[in-house]
Amino acid sequence: MMDRNVDISHAAGQRWLKHYYFLRAAFSIVWVALAFVVGQHEPGIAAALLVVYPAWDALSNYLDMSRSGGAVQNRVQAINVVVSLAVTVAVIVALRGSMAGVLQVFGVWAILSGLLQLGTAVRRWKEFGAQWAMILSGAQSALAGGFFIAQAQAQVPEAIVKIAGYAAVGAIYFLISAVWLTVSEMRRKVA
């Protein structure tokens, strides 16, 4: 009986994770489209998008953490929620200055959130497998953060375009992870 409960709990967790990854991918695709189509031409919309992105990350990490055992079992995600909320405020403050400052804030955030995502993916690998794309995404995010900080020193950084490219790659990783979990689930059902 205990094994059956563990199997049901594991299946529910994997189902949630798959839906979560699809949701993250969908949001990022819409955000990227808005950034490229409208944000790069309308500074007010670009500013709103730049604030929404880390706020969404905080909310989505909070939802995932809550559905995956809470803050005690997911301390790395709890830290990620706090970091993303702090970055949301920092972006609002940086927007009053320059786009170079915004890009630097996103750079620091990409490094921190990438490392935290990497930690979450490694922990999840043991239970769900299929986390290689999230591990790559976390590592790439940390590297991209360093590039953002370096690019902020350029003459006129186009923050919204650079961040949209970063978000597009993130969307691809979330989509790959969701599809990978879906295929893994189908394979188990067939076997």
Residue 94: band (very low, low, confident or very high) from pLDDT cuts 50, 70, 90: very high
Q: What pTM, to 2 d.p., does this model score? A: 0.83
Per-residue pLDDT tens for 97-125? 988 899 999 999 999 999 998 888 888 78
Alpha carbons 103 and 49: distance in angstroms, whole number:
13
Check residue 8 and give its pLDDT.
Answer: 60
pLDDT at 156: 55
Q: Please say whether the beta carbons of 120 and 134 come within 8 A.
A: yes
Residue type, 100: A
DSSP readout, 10-33?
Answer: HHHHHHHHHHHHHHHHHHHHHHHH
